[in-house]
Amino acid sequence: MTYSQTRWSLADLFPGFDSPELEAGFDKVEEQVTSFEGVRGKLKPEMDVEQFLDVIRASEETTRIVNKLYSFAGLSFAADTQDQAAQTLMGRIEQFAAEMQNRTLFFSLWWKDVDDQNAKRLMDAAGDYRYYLEEMRHFKPHTLSEPEEKILNLKNVTGASALNTLYDSITNRYVFKFEVNGEVKEMTAGELQTYRNSIDPDERARSYQEQFRAFSADGQILGQMYQALVRDWHNENVSLRKFPSAISARNLGNDIPDEAVNALLDVARKNVKLFQRYFKIKARQLGVVKLRRYDIYAPVAKAEKKFEFDAAAQMVFEAFGSFDPKIAELARRVFDQNHLDGEIRKGKDSGAFCWSVVPDMTPYVLLSYQGRARDVTTMAHELGHAIHAMLAEHHTTFTFHSSLPLAETASTFGEMMLTDKLLSEETDDAVRRDILFKQMDDAYATIMRQSYFAIFEKQAHEMIRNNASVDEISAAYFENLKEQFGDAVELSDEFKWEWISIPHIYHTPFYVYAYAFGQLLVFSLYQQFKIEGESFKPKYLKILSAGGSEAPAKILADAGIDIRSAKFWQGGFDVLEKLISELEKLK
């Protein structure tokens, strides 16, 4: 069977925007929520197991329909962002889902309040719903009394949340001026940032300089906002909710033990020289003595080789099939059911993603396939996500979706399988270079850069509690960069303002390490696969088929992996070390 680059079909969800089936979906949810509200009075800690499970099943049924409605709107919008009907439906479903959520909120509040003994009795009988129920209760020890929670909620609206909105408002209205071909243009941040990948060294430098010009002009104000947000985080999470440290509050949300996060960040720091070695290779490749910070995402190779769409698909099947034929079969299913949109069209979302709706439906994949080697690896990546969801199809709607720390496992692993295949077959050095450098650029951006952000956040939170000024924080950030880049990269002074341009550290403190966690985890797994061969395969498939039905640490422990151990994380860096050695060998 040959596959062509076409648009997907959403017929498995709904026939169309004006279809009676779509309206019936909204009506059905409304009806079910009304009936769900009726159980409110029947919720009792000592309630009968079957009665309790009926409530959970009803809530799952509603979630399934909402997921389908939401997916139809979201996927239609991604397929054509200019489509008015899709835009309108998106707005409608978002509003609708929020209203329905508010009407059913009482359940999770009640559930968190149930005493431990009865909660255990109900969870023990809940089968695959157990982890979903357990996770809701994780925050119980850090939950305050109802009036206190209400005050926090109200004060957040005008406090932390308002500060974050102000941060967005200030930074989103920056207009950047940038000269291209002798003409000065006004640009958004997104447009400006594309010049970081320019072939022209001067454009790369000016792109960063213009961005930090705008941010540093407001440096003191944006820095003050950060100080206030950090104090707020500490006041709420450490002083009131009694988390042992600022980062612990985030770790619990990710359901990762503190020791595992510490081990990850320590090992990253120990391997800092690895990427410095990479940046030296990259400098040589670009024909400069030393890389400037502006150059780290500069393109190195101009590989002309193109891969036809069908040939790419067959390559992915082969790479997956050599691991396990079942995996290749699942990847084929996405194409055979016409759930993959690979076409390049105006107005289509320019990114790539995999979207899983409900456990028993083949996920949807969107790509804008351009035929470069990196487009083939992207195809493998997104199909990896789809396979992850399909392997977990026996779980409930609440538990089939992998949790954040494990979300990139199958995708990155799939990408590695394909990269290995490409590298083993490719004789053209330029193509090999393109593949390897892309892999390393991505690894830097997800592993080392994000780990050092997290390291900085820990330090900044500590400093602010000790009344550090904005300039002192900037100086600490610059030291953080110096440690990260060593003598391999030349840093210019304006990078001390980079931290105030990172929205994540304002909006979701300590979120960034999850990226490093996921990526490094896969490199470690891949290393184990290389060593163990066949005996690794069932363990790996078991990790994927667990979906989100257990805590990440438990799923991995069952496969013999201890995420608290430094040795495990080092295995991930060892894979990168091999890649760097490959690159050093290239002419």
Q: How far apart are CA 174 and CA 189, in angstroms?
A: 8
Closer residue to Zn ion, CB minimum distance, 75 or 229 = 75
The candidate with the shortest Cα–Cα distance to 367, out of 564, 79, 149, is 79
Q: Taking contact as CB under 5 A, which single stretch among the options 68-76, 262-270, 405-413, 574-582 is the one that binds Zn ion?
A: 405-413
Q: Taking contact as CB under 5 A, which single stretch among the options 151-159, 403-411, 471-479, 556-564 is the one that binds Zn ion?
A: 403-411
The separation between CA 462 and the C-alpha centre of its own chain, rounded to angstroms, equals 27
The candidate with the shortest Cα–Cα distance to 505, out of 570, 460, 557, is 460
Pair of tokens at residue 397: 């709607």
Position among 62, 377, 411, 484 found at the interface with Zn ion (CB under 5 A): 411
Site string (454-473) toward Zn ion, x via CB under 5 A: --------------------
- Chain residues 22-41 in contact with Zn ion, contact rule CB under 5 A: none
Beta bridge partners of 51: none
Contact 295, 201 (CB under 8 A): yes
Q: How far apart are CA 576 and CA 522, in angstroms?
A: 11
Q: How far apart are CA 265 and CA 507, in angstroms?
A: 21
- Residue 526 CB, nearest approach to Zn ion (Å): 15
Q: How far apart are CA 322 and CA 317, in angstroms?
A: 8
Instruction: Tell me: does residue 104 bind Zn ion (CB under 5 A).
Output: no
- Residue 385 CB, nearest approach to Zn ion (Å): 6
- Helices assigned H by DSSP within 144-218: 146-158, 160-172, 189-193, 201-217
Q: Taking contact as CB under 5 A, which single stretch among the options 54-62, 407-415, 441-449, 545-553 is the one that binds Zn ion?
A: 407-415
Q: How far apart are CA 133 and CA 122, in angstroms?
A: 9
- Residue 307 CB, nearest approach to Zn ion (Å): 20
Closer residue to Zn ion, CB minimum distance, 352 or 481 = 352
- Residue 422 CB, nearest approach to Zn ion (Å): 19
Pair of tokens at residue 541: 């498939």
Q: How far apart are CA 45 and CA 123, in angstroms?
A: 12
Closer residue to Zn ion, CB minimum distance, 470 or 522 = 522
Q: Report how many residues bind Zn ion under the rule CB under 5 A.
A: 1
- Residue 413 CB, nearest approach to Zn ion (Å): 11
Q: Taking contact as CB under 5 A, which single stretch among the options 22-30, 129-137, 369-377, 411-419 is the one that binds Zn ion?
A: 411-419
- Residue 554 CB, nearest approach to Zn ion (Å): 23
The count of C-alpha atoms lying within 13 angstroms of the C-alpha of 87, restricted to the half-sphere facing its C-beta, is 7
- Residue 578 CB, nearest approach to Zn ion (Å): 22
- Residue 255 CB, nearest approach to Zn ion (Å): 20
The helix/strand/coil state of 566 is: helix
Closer residue to Zn ion, CB minimum distance, 65 or 445 = 445
The amino acid that residue 379 corresponds to is: M
Q: Taking contact as CB under 5 A, which single stretch among the options 53-61, 91-99, 233-241, 404-412 is the one that binds Zn ion?
A: 404-412
Closer residue to Zn ion, CB minimum distance, 216 or 377 = 377
DSSP secondary structure letter of residue 400? S
Closer residue to Zn ion, CB minimum distance, 281 or 380 = 380
- Residue 411 CB, nearest approach to Zn ion (Å): 4
The residue sitting closest to Zn ion, measured at its beta carbon, is: 411
- Residue 332 CB, nearest approach to Zn ion (Å): 20
Closer residue to Zn ion, CB minimum distance, 5 or 411 = 411
The count of C-alpha atoms lying within 13 angstroms of the C-alpha of 325, restricted to the half-sphere facing its C-beta, is 0
Closer residue to Zn ion, CB minimum distance, 298 or 520 = 520
The separation between CA 181 and the C-alpha centre of its own chain, rounded to angstroms, equals 36
Q: Taking contact as CB under 5 A, which single stretch among the options 35-43, 54-62, 389-397, 408-416 is the one that binds Zn ion?
A: 408-416
Taking the CA atoms of the chain, what radius of gyration do you get in angstroms? 25
Instruction: List the end-to-end C-alpha distance of the chain, in Å, as a whole number.
Output: 39
| DSSP structure string for 404-463 | GGGTTHHHHHHHHHHHHHHHHH---HHHHHHHHHHHHHHHIIIIIHHHHHHHHHHHHHHH
Q: Taking contact as CB under 5 A, which single stretch among the options 98-106, 242-250, 289-297, 410-418 is the one that binds Zn ion?
A: 410-418
Closer residue to Zn ion, CB minimum distance, 249 or 512 = 512
Site string (166-195) toward Zn ion, x via CB under 5 A: ------------------------------
The candidate with the shortest Cα–Cα distance to 406, out of 571, 249, 573, 561, is 561
Closer residue to Zn ion, CB minimum distance, 380 or 551 = 380
Closer residue to Zn ion, CB minimum distance, 382 or 434 = 382
- Residue 232 CB, nearest approach to Zn ion (Å): 32
The separation between CA 467 and the C-alpha centre of its own chain, rounded to angstroms, equals 33
Closer residue to Zn ion, CB minimum distance, 301 or 440 = 440
Q: How many residues make up the chain in this entry?
A: 587
Closer residue to Zn ion, CB minimum distance, 408 or 457 = 408
Closer residue to Zn ion, CB minimum distance, 397 or 411 = 411
- Residue 352 CB, nearest approach to Zn ion (Å): 8
Pair of tokens at residue 154: 């109200």
Pair of tokens at residue 94: 């978002």
Q: Which helix (H) or strand (E) segment is 52 a member of? A: helix 49-79
- Residue 381 CB, nearest approach to Zn ion (Å): 6
The helix/strand/coil state of 364 is: strand
- Residue 104 CB, nearest approach to Zn ion (Å): 30
The helix/strand/coil state of 558 is: helix
Q: Which residues bind Zn ion (CB under 5 A)?
A: 411
